[in-house]
Protein backbone atom coordinates (compact mmCIF):
# COMPACT_ATOMS: atom_id res chain seq x y z
CA UNK A 1 0.00 0.00 0.00
CA UNK A 2 1.35 3.40 -0.97
CA UNK A 3 2.07 6.06 1.63
CA UNK A 4 -0.48 8.40 0.06
CA UNK A 5 -3.18 5.78 0.70
CA UNK A 6 -2.04 5.36 4.30
CA UNK A 7 -2.30 9.12 4.79
CA UNK A 8 -5.85 9.06 3.44
CA UNK A 9 -6.69 6.26 5.89
CA UNK A 10 -6.14 8.77 8.67
CA UNK A 11 -9.21 10.60 7.34
CA UNK A 12 -11.57 7.65 6.96
CA UNK A 13 -14.24 9.26 9.18
CA UNK A 14 -14.46 12.25 6.83
CA UNK A 15 -14.37 10.13 3.68
CA UNK A 16 -17.20 7.97 4.98
CA UNK A 17 -19.54 10.98 4.90
CA UNK A 18 -18.89 11.81 1.24
CA UNK A 19 -19.55 10.57 -2.27
CA UNK A 20 -15.95 10.27 -3.45
CA UNK A 21 -14.17 10.17 -6.79
CA UNK A 22 -10.46 9.30 -6.57
CA UNK A 23 -8.39 10.38 -9.59
CA UNK A 24 -5.03 8.81 -10.55
CA UNK A 25 -6.08 5.88 -8.35
CA UNK A 26 -3.28 3.45 -9.19
CA UNK A 27 -2.93 1.87 -5.73
CA UNK A 28 -5.22 -1.11 -5.15
CA UNK A 29 -5.58 -0.13 -1.49
CA UNK A 30 -7.63 2.93 -2.45
CA UNK A 31 -10.62 0.72 -3.28
CA UNK A 32 -11.01 -0.19 0.41
CA UNK A 33 -11.39 3.38 1.66
CA UNK A 34 -14.82 4.04 3.21
CA UNK A 35 -17.28 6.37 1.48
CA UNK A 36 -20.99 6.79 0.91
CA UNK A 37 -20.10 5.95 -2.69
CA UNK A 38 -16.68 5.50 -4.25
CA UNK A 39 -15.50 5.64 -7.84
CA UNK A 40 -11.91 5.31 -9.06
CA UNK A 41 -10.23 6.74 -12.13
CA UNK A 42 -6.77 5.93 -13.47
CA UNK A 43 -4.87 6.52 -16.68
CA UNK A 44 -3.54 2.96 -16.27
CA UNK A 45 -5.94 0.95 -18.41
CA UNK A 46 -4.75 -2.37 -16.96
CA UNK A 47 -6.27 -1.69 -13.55
CA UNK A 48 -9.72 -3.23 -12.91
CA UNK A 49 -12.66 -1.31 -11.49
CA UNK A 50 -11.64 2.10 -12.87
CA UNK A 51 -13.61 4.48 -15.05
CA UNK A 52 -12.97 3.60 -18.71
CA UNK A 53 -12.54 7.22 -19.85
CA UNK A 54 -9.08 8.75 -20.27
CA UNK A 55 -10.27 11.85 -18.41
CA UNK A 56 -12.12 11.54 -15.09
CA UNK A 57 -15.91 11.78 -15.26
CA UNK A 58 -17.47 13.38 -12.19
CA UNK A 59 -20.41 11.34 -10.88
CA UNK A 60 -23.57 13.38 -10.36
CA UNK A 61 -23.59 12.71 -6.62
CA UNK A 62 -19.86 13.32 -6.03
CA UNK A 63 -19.12 15.95 -3.38
CA UNK A 64 -15.40 15.18 -2.85
CA UNK A 65 -12.68 14.51 -5.41
CA UNK A 66 -9.37 13.12 -4.18
CA UNK A 67 -6.50 13.60 -6.62
CA UNK A 68 -3.37 11.49 -6.14
CA UNK A 69 -0.55 13.70 -7.36
CA UNK A 70 0.43 12.67 -10.91
CA UNK A 71 4.09 12.61 -11.91
CA UNK A 72 3.50 15.45 -14.39
CA UNK A 73 2.32 18.90 -13.34
CA UNK A 74 0.85 19.31 -16.81
CA UNK A 75 -1.24 16.22 -16.13
CA UNK A 76 -2.44 17.70 -12.83
CA UNK A 77 -3.47 20.92 -14.57
CA UNK A 78 -5.37 18.90 -17.18
CA UNK A 79 -7.22 16.96 -14.47
CA UNK A 80 -8.13 20.11 -12.54
CA UNK A 81 -9.30 21.87 -15.70
CA UNK A 82 -11.42 18.93 -16.82
CA UNK A 83 -13.08 18.68 -13.38
CA UNK A 84 -13.69 22.43 -13.23
CA UNK A 85 -15.50 22.15 -16.56
CA UNK A 86 -17.92 19.61 -15.10
CA UNK A 87 -19.17 21.62 -12.11
CA UNK A 88 -21.54 24.55 -11.69
CA UNK A 89 -20.61 25.36 -8.08
CA UNK A 90 -17.41 25.00 -6.02
CA UNK A 91 -16.36 21.41 -5.32
CA UNK A 92 -14.30 20.08 -2.43
CA UNK A 93 -10.99 18.69 -3.72
CA UNK A 94 -8.19 16.95 -1.83
CA UNK A 95 -4.71 16.75 -3.31
CA UNK A 96 -2.33 14.22 -1.78
CA UNK A 97 1.22 13.34 -2.74
CA UNK A 98 4.77 12.67 -1.57
CA UNK A 99 6.72 15.53 -0.05
CA UNK A 100 9.64 14.82 -2.39
CA UNK A 101 7.42 14.24 -5.42
CA UNK A 102 6.35 17.80 -6.16
CA UNK A 103 3.36 18.20 -3.86
CA UNK A 104 4.24 21.84 -3.12
CA UNK A 105 4.16 22.67 -6.80
CA UNK A 106 0.92 20.74 -7.10
CA UNK A 107 -0.58 22.84 -4.30
CA UNK A 108 0.41 25.96 -6.23
CA UNK A 109 -1.40 24.65 -9.30
CA UNK A 110 -4.43 23.85 -7.15
CA UNK A 111 -4.43 27.38 -5.73
CA UNK A 112 -4.55 28.83 -9.25
CA UNK A 113 -8.00 27.35 -9.87
CA UNK A 114 -9.42 26.85 -6.37
CA UNK A 115 -10.21 28.80 -3.19
CA UNK A 116 -9.36 28.19 0.44
CA UNK A 117 -6.34 25.94 -0.02
CA UNK A 118 -5.50 24.40 3.34
CA UNK A 119 -2.66 22.07 4.40
CA UNK A 120 -4.76 19.43 6.16
CA UNK A 121 -2.23 16.79 7.15
CA UNK A 122 1.34 15.56 6.82
CA UNK A 123 2.53 12.01 7.50
CA UNK A 124 4.60 9.21 5.96
CA UNK A 125 6.55 11.77 3.91
CA UNK A 126 3.31 12.89 2.24
CA UNK A 127 1.07 15.95 2.44
CA UNK A 128 -2.66 16.45 2.05
CA UNK A 129 -4.20 19.73 0.87
CA UNK A 130 -7.87 20.64 0.58
CA UNK A 131 -9.49 23.37 -1.51
CA UNK A 132 -12.70 24.44 -3.22
CA UNK A 133 -12.35 24.01 -6.98
CA UNK A 134 -14.02 26.83 -8.93
CA UNK A 135 -16.23 26.12 -11.96
CA UNK A 136 -14.59 27.11 -15.24
CA UNK A 137 -15.11 26.46 -18.93
CA UNK A 138 -12.96 23.59 -20.22
CA UNK A 139 -11.44 23.43 -23.68
CA UNK A 140 -9.67 20.23 -24.66
CA UNK A 141 -8.03 22.12 -27.52
CA UNK A 142 -6.15 24.24 -24.99
CA UNK A 143 -4.58 21.08 -23.54
CA UNK A 144 -3.65 19.50 -26.86
CA UNK A 145 -0.19 19.91 -28.35
CA UNK A 146 0.25 19.28 -32.05
CA UNK A 147 3.64 19.18 -33.72
CA UNK A 148 5.10 18.09 -37.01
CA UNK A 149 7.44 15.26 -37.91
CA UNK A 150 8.44 14.39 -41.47
CA UNK A 151 5.16 15.65 -42.91
CA UNK A 152 3.03 14.04 -40.18
CA UNK A 153 0.98 15.88 -37.55
CA UNK A 154 1.47 14.38 -34.10
CA UNK A 155 -1.06 14.99 -31.30
CA UNK A 156 -0.34 14.58 -27.59
CA UNK A 157 -1.86 15.43 -24.22
CA UNK A 158 -0.35 15.98 -20.76
CA UNK A 159 0.79 12.69 -19.28
CA UNK A 160 1.77 11.15 -22.61
CA UNK A 161 5.46 10.25 -22.86
CA UNK A 162 7.52 13.12 -24.31
CA UNK A 163 4.43 15.34 -24.46
CA UNK A 164 4.63 17.85 -27.29
CA UNK A 165 7.96 16.82 -28.79
CA UNK A 166 9.90 13.97 -30.39
CA UNK A 167 12.15 12.35 -27.81
CA UNK A 168 15.76 11.62 -28.75
CA UNK A 169 15.43 7.84 -28.55
CA UNK A 170 12.48 7.73 -30.93
CA UNK A 171 14.30 10.14 -33.25
CA UNK A 172 17.21 7.68 -33.59
CA UNK A 173 14.83 4.76 -34.08
CA UNK A 174 12.93 6.63 -36.80
CA UNK A 175 16.22 7.43 -38.57
CA UNK A 176 16.96 3.70 -38.71
CA UNK A 177 13.44 2.79 -39.87
CA UNK A 178 13.66 5.34 -42.70
CA UNK A 179 16.57 3.34 -44.15
CA UNK A 180 14.72 0.01 -44.05
CA UNK A 181 12.16 -1.52 -46.38
CA UNK A 182 9.47 -2.65 -43.99
CA UNK A 183 6.36 -4.56 -45.02
CA UNK A 184 3.66 -6.75 -43.58
CA UNK A 185 2.39 -6.31 -40.05
CA UNK A 186 3.88 -4.33 -37.17
CA UNK A 187 3.16 -4.08 -33.47
CA UNK A 188 4.03 -0.81 -31.72
CA UNK A 189 4.27 -1.46 -27.98
CA UNK A 190 4.07 1.71 -25.88
CA UNK A 191 2.72 3.82 -28.72
CA UNK A 192 2.63 7.12 -26.80
CA UNK A 193 1.55 9.95 -29.08
CA UNK A 194 1.61 7.64 -32.09
CA UNK A 195 4.61 8.90 -34.05
CA UNK A 196 5.92 5.38 -34.72
CA UNK A 197 2.45 4.02 -35.51
CA UNK A 198 1.72 6.85 -37.94
CA UNK A 199 5.10 6.43 -39.65
CA UNK A 200 4.53 2.70 -40.09
CA UNK A 201 0.93 3.13 -41.24
CA UNK A 202 2.02 5.71 -43.83
CA UNK A 203 4.50 3.12 -45.14
CA UNK A 204 1.46 0.86 -45.73
CA UNK A 205 2.16 -1.62 -42.97
CA UNK A 206 -0.73 -3.17 -41.07
CA UNK A 207 -0.23 -1.60 -37.66
CA UNK A 208 -1.40 -2.55 -34.18
CA UNK A 209 -0.59 0.00 -31.47
CA UNK A 210 -0.75 -0.70 -27.73
CA UNK A 211 -0.26 1.44 -24.65
CA UNK A 212 -1.20 0.97 -21.00
CA UNK A 213 -1.96 4.70 -20.79
CA UNK A 214 -5.54 5.50 -21.76
CA UNK A 215 -4.40 9.04 -22.59
CA UNK A 216 -1.73 7.71 -24.95
CA UNK A 217 -4.31 5.54 -26.70
CA UNK A 218 -6.50 8.62 -27.21
CA UNK A 219 -3.52 10.63 -28.49
CA UNK A 220 -2.44 7.91 -30.93
CA UNK A 221 -5.99 7.69 -32.25
CA UNK A 222 -6.04 11.45 -32.84
CA UNK A 223 -2.62 11.37 -34.51
CA UNK A 224 -3.78 8.70 -36.93
CA UNK A 225 -7.01 10.59 -37.65
CA UNK A 226 -5.14 13.87 -38.21
CA UNK A 227 -3.09 12.19 -40.95
CA UNK A 228 -5.87 10.14 -42.54
CA UNK A 229 -4.22 6.89 -41.44
CA UNK A 230 -5.56 3.70 -39.92
CA UNK A 231 -4.26 1.30 -37.27
CA UNK A 232 -5.69 -0.97 -34.63
CA UNK A 233 -5.17 0.93 -31.35
CA UNK A 234 -5.54 -1.04 -28.10
CA UNK A 235 -5.40 -0.18 -24.42
CA UNK A 236 -3.55 -2.68 -22.26
CA UNK A 237 -0.36 -3.70 -20.52
CA UNK A 238 2.33 -4.88 -22.96
CA UNK A 239 0.94 -7.88 -24.90
CA UNK A 240 -2.18 -8.39 -22.76
CA UNK A 241 -4.69 -7.13 -25.38
CA UNK A 242 -2.79 -8.54 -28.39
CA UNK A 243 -3.66 -11.63 -30.42
CA UNK A 244 -1.86 -13.17 -33.37
CA UNK A 245 1.72 -12.84 -34.60
CA UNK A 246 3.49 -10.01 -36.42
CA UNK A 247 6.28 -9.57 -38.92
CA UNK A 248 7.92 -7.05 -36.61
CA UNK A 249 7.58 -5.51 -33.19
CA UNK A 250 8.92 -1.96 -33.14
CA UNK A 251 9.17 -0.10 -29.86
CA UNK A 252 10.74 2.54 -27.67
CA UNK A 253 10.08 0.75 -24.37
CA UNK A 254 9.72 2.66 -21.11
CA UNK A 255 12.24 2.34 -18.33
CA UNK A 256 10.24 4.26 -15.73
CA UNK A 257 7.18 3.12 -13.78
CA UNK A 258 5.72 6.32 -12.44
CA UNK A 259 8.64 8.16 -10.84
CA UNK A 260 10.69 5.00 -10.34
CA UNK A 261 13.34 3.85 -12.81
CA UNK A 262 12.87 0.17 -13.64
CA UNK A 263 13.98 -2.31 -16.30
CA UNK A 264 11.28 -4.87 -15.48
CA UNK A 265 8.89 -3.65 -18.17
CA UNK A 266 11.52 -3.80 -20.90
CA UNK A 267 12.70 -7.23 -19.78
CA UNK A 268 9.15 -8.60 -19.99
CA UNK A 269 8.64 -6.99 -23.39
CA UNK A 270 11.79 -8.63 -24.76
CA UNK A 271 11.37 -12.07 -23.20
CA UNK A 272 7.75 -12.40 -24.34
CA UNK A 273 8.28 -10.94 -27.82
CA UNK A 274 9.02 -14.23 -29.66
CA UNK A 275 5.50 -15.49 -28.83
CA UNK A 276 4.07 -12.63 -30.91
CA UNK A 277 6.45 -12.80 -33.88
CA UNK A 278 6.08 -14.92 -36.99
CA UNK A 279 8.89 -17.26 -37.98
CA UNK A 280 11.73 -15.01 -39.10
CA UNK A 281 10.04 -12.00 -37.52
CA UNK A 282 12.09 -9.38 -35.77
CA UNK A 283 12.07 -7.06 -32.80
CA UNK A 284 13.48 -3.56 -33.38
CA UNK A 285 13.85 -1.41 -30.30
CA UNK A 286 15.72 1.61 -29.08
CA UNK A 287 17.23 1.47 -25.61
CA UNK A 288 19.24 3.65 -23.31
CA UNK A 289 22.93 2.87 -23.20
CA UNK A 290 24.13 1.13 -20.06
CA UNK A 291 21.04 -1.02 -19.46
CA UNK A 292 21.21 -4.84 -19.79
CA UNK A 293 19.15 -5.26 -22.96
CA UNK A 294 21.80 -7.34 -24.73
CA UNK A 295 21.59 -10.09 -22.08
CA UNK A 296 17.82 -10.42 -22.43
CA UNK A 297 17.89 -10.22 -26.23
CA UNK A 298 20.43 -13.03 -26.47
CA UNK A 299 18.32 -15.18 -24.16
CA UNK A 300 15.14 -14.67 -26.17
CA UNK A 301 16.37 -14.52 -29.79
CA UNK A 302 18.57 -16.51 -32.16
CA UNK A 303 20.28 -13.52 -33.78
CA UNK A 304 20.89 -10.07 -32.31
CA UNK A 305 22.58 -7.05 -33.86
CA UNK A 306 23.08 -3.34 -33.32
CA UNK A 307 21.67 -1.16 -36.10
CA UNK A 308 22.76 2.25 -34.80
CA UNK A 309 23.95 3.97 -31.65
CA UNK A 310 25.07 7.25 -30.19
CA UNK A 311 26.28 8.35 -26.77
CA UNK A 312 22.83 7.90 -25.20
CA UNK A 313 20.91 5.29 -27.19
CA UNK A 314 21.32 2.07 -29.12
CA UNK A 315 18.95 0.55 -31.68
CA UNK A 316 18.76 -3.24 -31.51
CA UNK A 317 17.40 -5.75 -34.01
CA UNK A 318 16.68 -9.34 -32.99
CA UNK A 319 15.31 -12.20 -35.12
CA UNK A 320 13.03 -14.98 -34.00
From first to last of its 320 residues, the chain has per-residue pLDDT tens of 999 999 999 999 999 999 999 999 999 999 999 999 999 999 999 999 999 899 999 999 999 999 999 999 999 999 999 999 999 999 999 999 999 999 999 999 999 999 999 999 999 999 999 999 999 999 999 999 999 999 999 999 999 998 989 999 999 999 999 999 999 999 999 999 999 999 999 999 999 999 999 999 999 999 999 999 999 999 999 999 999 999 999 999 876 444 444 578 899 999 999 999 999 999 999 999 988 899 999 999 999 999 999 999 999 999 99
DSSP readout, 22-46? EES---GGGGGS--SEEEEE-SBTT
Dihedral angle, C-alpha 10, 14, 20, 22, nearest 10 °: -20
The DSSP code for 127 is E
Domains of the chain, earliest start first: 3-140 (3.40.50.150), 144-319 (3.40.50.150)
Strand-strand pairing, 152-156 and 185-189: unpaired
Helix, strand, coil % (nearest 5) of the chain? 30, 35, 35
Query: Distance (Å, rounded) from C-alpha 129 to C-alpha 119?
Result: 5
Report the DSSP beta bridge partners of residue 133.
Answer: 91, 114
Amino acid sequence: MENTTRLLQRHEATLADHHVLIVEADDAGLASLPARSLQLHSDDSSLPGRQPDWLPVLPEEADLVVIILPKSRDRLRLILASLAGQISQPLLVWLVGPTGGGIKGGATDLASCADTVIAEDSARHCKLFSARLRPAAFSLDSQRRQWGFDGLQIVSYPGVFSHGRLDDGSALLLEVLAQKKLSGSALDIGCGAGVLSATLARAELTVTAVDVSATAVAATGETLHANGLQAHVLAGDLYEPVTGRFDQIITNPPFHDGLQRTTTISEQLIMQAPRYLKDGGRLILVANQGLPYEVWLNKAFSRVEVLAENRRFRVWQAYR
